Structure 1
Amino acid sequence: MPVDYNNSRGANRAAVLVLVIVASLFTLPAESARAAGFRPTLAANYARAYAYGYNSNYASYHNNGGDCTNFVSQSWYAGDVRMDTTGGDKWYYKTARVGSSYRPFPTPSWIRVKDFRSYWYNNGSSYKYIQGETALTYKFSPSGLGEVYIFDSGDSSSKASWFHAAISVGWSKGYDEYAQHSIGRITKWTYMYSTRTSAQRKNILKSGRGYRSIAP
């Protein structure tokens, strides 16, 4: 079913976000032509459809480093974000015949969270910082429909450790929800922070740390 995202959030959302989100938002200079036709509802609907399963048109990396970034990349492609196959910095998923079978040949930016973050940060995406305990625990999320969360594990005491990606898919019972692989799940967006240890949370709350939200 299509997600009626904007109408479900209520008229107070913008005002509430201004008050509670300790975050900064900036848009990098030029929007990529790849993302000019982005349709977030299609991306969210795809993510909901495959949150608990796998699309046989793509390889699964569940047992090979994790499938989370592969999943959000598929979702964006389903939302009409075009693959980037030219230049030095690329984002795509391809298959090629090797012997008697076809093998997947995705770019690192398609399947690895750190490379995904770097690619879109450097290629005209809208990029939000989600910082501070209030922002990381409040029921109103700073993310828009179809945007991808990039999570800091909190494992490092000195710098962000980008270890997981998930995609915003709508609004339910007072919270934004995201869909994810490798453990298939649709859950409220504060779930990841709530599952961190006290030591990990302390690191995530350090200056300049927190989560990121990216729109293509």
Structure 2
Amino acid sequence: MMLKEIAYNRAEAVRYAETWAMRRNPKFPNFDQMGGDCTNFASQCIYAGCGVMNPTPVTGWYCNSLEDRSPAWSGVEFLYKFLITNKSVGPYAAETGTDMLEPGDVIHLGDADGHFYHTPVVLSVENGNILVAAHSFDACFRPLYTYSFSALRCLHILGARIWA
């Protein structure tokens, strides 16, 4: 077996985000009462766009249940580290500027101390106007500029890998 590159289906990631932005998919745990559901929702959207999880214990990216999941599935910093460093199965990304964002990408919002706390999903980018979907503070087609944040980190999903 070897790793095979697969395309990230941005349309599917966006369709999923639009469908579930204002409600919860019962197939996944809900983290609203456990610190927020935004990164869980972003992971669901990314999964909809690539169809493959990374089942590596601790450092992977997966969610089978509330009790059987990786930190990267629902934690802002863990998701960032996974997407930026993943060389195995599952999605991977590069940090970029807002000018390189595309639908299906994710953004991390942070404070002045560099603590990132929110993960919206990009739905559309037109003439520099970025519209997002998110959980915790449920939103669908919310302009990014309406959020209050001091730091911004943009993650452009480059693709995914599967075992073939």
CA distance in 1, matches of 2:8, 2:54: 14
| 1:127 aligns to 2:94 (yes or no) | yes
CA contact (8 A) 1:145 1:170 kept: yes
CA contact (8 A) 1:129 1:211 kept: yes
> Which segments of structure 1 move beyond 3 Å, counting only runs of 4 or more?
171-174
**Corresponding position of 1:163:** 117
Alignment of 1:55-204 (within 5 A): 55-86=25-56, 89-95=59-65, 104-124=67-87, 125-130=92-97, 141-154=99-112, 156=113, 160-171=114-125, 175-186=129-140, 187-192=142-147, 195-196=148-149, 201=150, 204=151
Tell me which structure has the larger Cα radius of gyration. Answer: 1
5+ residue gaps, structure 2: 160-164
The change in CA–CA distance for 1:123 and 1:56 in structure 2 (over 3 A counts) is: same
1:121 CA drift (Å): 1.0
RMSD: 2.4
CA distance in 2, matches of 1:123, 1:174: 29
CA contact (8 A) 1:59 1:104 kept: no
CA distance in 2, matches of 1:87, 1:52: 31
Residue deviations 1:33-61, cap 9 Å, x none? 5x723201000110011111100111100
TM-score normalised by L of structure 2: 0.80
| 1:211 aligns to 2:153 (yes or no) | yes
The change in CA–CA distance for 1:39 and 1:129 in structure 2 (over 3 A counts) is: closer
Residue deviations 1:44-100, cap 9 Å, x none? 1100111111001111001101100100111111112410113763110113xxxxx
TM-score normalised by L of structure 1: 0.62
CA distance in 1, matches of 2:154, 2:143: 16
Higher relative contact order (CA 8 A, sep 6+): 2
Deviates more, 1:43-52 or 1:79-88: 79-88
5+ residue gaps, structure 1: 1-31, 96-102, 136-140, 205-209
CA distance in 1, matches of 2:129, 2:56: 39
CA contact (8 A) 1:151 1:163 kept: yes
